[in-house]
Structure 1
Amino acid sequence: MSVLSGKKVLLGITAGIAAYKTANLVRLFIKAGADVKVVMTPASKDFITPLTLSTLSKNPVYSSFTHDEDDAVWNNHVELGLWADFLLIAPATANTMAKMANGVCDNLLMATYLSAKCPVYFAPAMDLDMYKHPTTRRSFDLLNSFGNIMIPATSGELASGLVGEGRMAEPENIVDFIERDILEGLPLKGKKMLITAGPTYEAIDPVRFIGNHSSGKMGFEIAKSAANLGAEVILISGPTHETVNHQFIKLIKIFSAAEMYTEVHNYFKDVDIAILSAAVADYRPKYVADKKIKKKADTFSIELERTQDILASLGKIKKNQFLVGFALETHNELEHAKGKLESKNLDVIVLNSLNDEGAGFGVSTNKVTFITNTNEVLSQDLKSKAEVAGDLMNLIIKQLNA
């Protein structure tokens, strides 16, 4: 999964020969998981058709203030500008950049640009002499001074037959530039994070085990939220149907509490943040049969022994790590959670109760309370587990920056 996954991309296309490359640019954004809308200048339709871009983006293409088929329907440039996470103008011709630099608003794209509150990238494309002209250089300087981000043109063969600077960056390089720029600005960039998820299964014999109903969804959502904020994530998960595909997440699958203990301790010393959301078994069979146990008596007893408390073991050895634990309680919830926070040397504990409807195992929502080691008690409403993960990341970032 790319850092562009889930991003809302507004692509502005102007009338340069490099417009033909925008079909591949749209395709790459879609492949990265972004949602793409396209705004074209009227003249750019001479170089690539709106039908092509609409088909690839799976969204209507906008090029005028009203719908082509109905002049009474307005294309709202303000809504387009506010919708986007970022605006990319590619190709950015000398003409369009001059308009951007001087506030000339004579088409839908320029009106949208002037309404946008998001970051604006622009990828210049023009012939060599135009690229070097003082007025074009002035446009570059002004646009950069406004906070716009220039994706530099490259050298190569130009439409005129000349060879030199002015060739629009290739679509793959544009996407890579934006990904790296977004990543550099993410609040968890450079942080290493360890997250545990899912249940553990404790073997009785080769076919039976003791387990719980944890789906692992909460831990996987935390991992995705952390990675989307720039963290390098080690996700250690027990058996689960959850999947993840993200360039910043390394998934390690385990089965038992003992295996999770070993993997967690392998990585803990090298991480900045550890979040233990897995539902680890407290007990395991003391003796594991090497063959399937046959049904003989009406009753059957299994002697259990305690598993190692992974969270407590980390609290004893932590140095500068920020340590977060989870507490699932059914009674005296706040009292028990505060006790675990202190006894296990945590920075934050996340309390959720099976008494809250919509919370707990096997559902897509959760209702939690964050408790910090500075005695803050922050009760949250019922939310999706993805939203809870985002709230937890925001709290950690706030605590780290305090």
Structure 2
Amino acid sequence: MRPRVVLGVSGGIAAYKACELLRRFTESGHDVTVVPTAAALEFVGAPTWAALSGKPVSTDVWASVHEVPHVRIGQQADLVVVAPATADVMAKAAHGLADDLLTNTLLTARCPVVFAPAMHTEMWEHPATQANVATLRERGAVVIEPAEGRLTGKDTGKGRLPEPAEIFETSVQVLARGVGSADLAGRHVLVSAGGTREYLDPVRFLGNRSSGLQGYALARAAAARGARVTLVAANVTLPDPAGVRVVRVETTNELREAVLAAAPEADAVVMAAAPADFRPTTTSEAKIKKASDGSAPAVHLEQNPDILAEISHERHRDDQVVVGFAAETGDDTGSVLELGRAKLARKGCDLLVVNDVSGGAVFGAEDNAAVILSASGDAVEVERASKTTVAHAIWDQVVRRFVM
């Protein structure tokens, strides 16, 4: 049976974006029932929703009364997604008010519920809205943090609806995990992703092959599990995950500064980025030219700070969970796992995700395999799967340490 999704659409200018979200659900095989509010139909008409979903659309409880839609739709749903979710709809949901088909559906649903808020910054930041959001999260709903950017008119700020593709990714993860998936609700997590660059001159740099895909998968997975997420991204061009605050950096020192700024209030820090181990001792202000005699310039290097070891050994909170990554190939000094265990002890983190990157494996790939080592000596093997699956396996281990 196809998963049954209710797409609730409330009355905001971002309602037009829900059309793309609806198409993503239907094209991926979901059975979607659109339940707009009356205000939403002022922005996008019922014929559009009916045409895209292949089903009739109603906003009130009086249509097809014999089928009891105000109860049946919520009871039969596998997932409810409200996008955009206005301050009004979230307030009604938080206080159990039910004056139309959507709010009745929210009251009767026993499946996971995702809210994707969209409103002006002042409305999002108002204490009443923040209290309502907190209430919904306490009850197990996933409320995605709105994005920052251009709002209605000339306004800019936090309150923009995240991109439909990212709302879809979050929603399918919530659907896959089912009721109780928001086990990171109330937690703030910090994730780093990508690879740093150390400049030789204005156009050349030392870098590595990290794509940032695993770090972004970790950020998306944490948001889908209800966490407030800060993502420090080093030279990554991927779209911002829905509900995630992204801090962009280039060099290892910039990565260190951003991580140290956010780490003190984080419940968990997951260092999935690949910082450069070395940087040039000097950087030329002008592009380095080829020598006429064919000789190459000498490049002198110095070590970069060890960010993972620093945050592991100098924690601001005793209950903080720190996760590191190790990309290993194995050599004469030890196997991939032996080198990983040595790194775990040396860095002082709680968990170390070890990847065998022999032959360039993992970098830029959509899938991954890993072994999650713990400071207590446990080892959890994650067989090759999507990086999203690997991300959830890592968060499962983090959540275990929160409740220990």
Q: Same fold (TM over 0.5)?
A: yes
Relative to structure 1, the CA distance from residue 371 to residue 50 in structure 2 (aligned partners, 3 Å threshold; closer, same or farther) is: same
Q: Which of 346, 349, 360 matches 1:346?
A: 349
- Aligned residue in 2 for 1:239: 235
8 Å CA contact retained: 1:325, 1:350: yes
Whole-angstrom distance in 2 between the partners of 1:255 and 1:26 = 36
Change (3 A) 1:35 1:349: same
Alignment deviations for residues 2-48 of structure 1 (CA, whole Å, 9 cap, x no partner): xxxxx951469xxxxxxx999x99967545677263569xxxxxxxx
Segments of 5+ residues of structure 2 without an aligned counterpart are 35-44, 82-93, 116-132, 144-179
Amino acid at match of 2:300: E
How far apart are residue 350 of structure 1 and its match?
Answer: 0.4
Shift of 1:53: 3.7
Out of 270, 282, 286, which is 1:287 matched to?
A: 282
1:193-248 Cα shifts (integer Å, max 9, x gaps):
111110110011111111111111111111111111111111111112212142x3
Q: 2:264 aligns with which of 260, 269, 278?
A: 269
Pick the aligned partner of 1:373 from 368, 372, 375. 375
Name the amino acid aligned to 1:260: L
Aligned equivalents of 1:213 and 1:267: distance in 2?
25
Structure 2 CA distance for aligned equivalents of residues 9 and 119 of structure 1: 5
User: What secondary structure sits across from 1:261 in the alignment?
Assistant: helix
From 287, 301, 306, the equivalent of 2:303 is 306
Q: Structure 1 residue 367: deviation in Å?
A: 1.0
| Aligned 1:102-181 pairs, distance under 5 A | 116=76, 118=78, 152-154=97-99, 179=115, 181=136
1:383 equivalent to 2:378? Answer: no
- Which whole-Å CA distance do the structure 2 matches of 1:401 and 1:120 have between them? 28
User: Structure 1 CA distance, aligned partners of 2:14 and 2:61?
Assistant: 14
* Residue 348 of structure 1, CA deviation: 0.9
**Residue matched to 2:142:** 183
Please state how far the C-alpha of 1:395 moved relative to its aligned partner: 2.2
Partner Cα distance (1:35, 1:215) in 2: 27
Match of 2:326 in 1: 327
2:25 aligns to what? 35
Name stretches of at least 5 consecutive residues in structure 1 with no aligned partner. 1-6, 13-19, 41-48, 64-87, 102-109, 122-148, 155-166
Q: Are the equivalent residues in 2 in contact too, given 1:221–1:385 (CA < 8 A)?
A: yes
**Percent of aligned pairs with the same residue?**
26
Q: Which digits, 9 at most, give the CA deviation of each residue in 1:131-185, with x for residues without a partner?
A: xxxxxxxxxxxxxxxxxx996234xxxxxxxxxxxx55689x999x962542276
Higher CA-based Rg: 1
CA distance in 1, matches of 2:359, 2:300: 33
Quote the Cα distance in structure 1 between the aligned partners of 2:309 and 2:7: 50
* Preserved contact between residue 27 and residue 56 of structure 1 (Cα < 8 Å): no
Q: Which amino acid aligns with 1:317?
A: E
Q: Aligned partners of 1:375 and 1:228: how far apart in 2?
A: 29
Distance 1:238 1:21 in 2: 36
Deviation of 1:355 after TM superposition, in Å, equals 2.8
Structure 2 residue 194 is matched with structure 1 residue 249: no
Mapped to 1, the partners of 2:10 and 2:299 lie a distance apart of 67
**CA pair 401-8 structure 1, distance change in 2 beyond 3 A:** farther
Distance in 2 separating the partners of 1:346 and 1:30: 44
CA contact (8 A) 1:38 1:53 kept: no
Aligned partner of residue 358 in structure 2, secondary structure? coil
TM-aligned CA distance change 1:284 to 1:400, over 3 Å? same
Judged with a 3 Å threshold, the aligned counterparts in structure 2 of structure 1 residues 354 and 326 are, in CA distance, closer, same or farther, namely same
Q: 1:11–1:89: 8 Å Cα contact kept in structure 2?
A: no
Amino acid at match of 1:321: Q
> Within 2, Cα distance between the matches of 1:21 and 1:294?
59
Q: Which amino acid aligns with 1:304?
A: L
- The 8 Å contact of residues 97 and 103 in structure 2, kept in 1 or not, is answered as no
Q: What one-letter code is carried by the residue in structure 1 that aligns with 2:326?
A: A
**Which amino acid is the alignment partner of residue 328 of structure 1?**
A
- Secondary structure class of the residue paired with 1:269: helix
Structure 1 position 398, deviation (Å)? 2.4
Q: How large is the Cα RMSD of the aligned pairs? A: 4.1
Query: Is the 1:26–1:53 Cα contact (8 Å) retained in structure 2?
Result: no
Equivalent pairs counted in the alignment come to 304
Q: Is the 8 A contact 2:19 2:49 kept in 1?
A: no
The separation in 2 between residues aligned to 1:367 and 1:381, in whole angstroms, is 5
TM-score after normalising by structure 1: 0.64
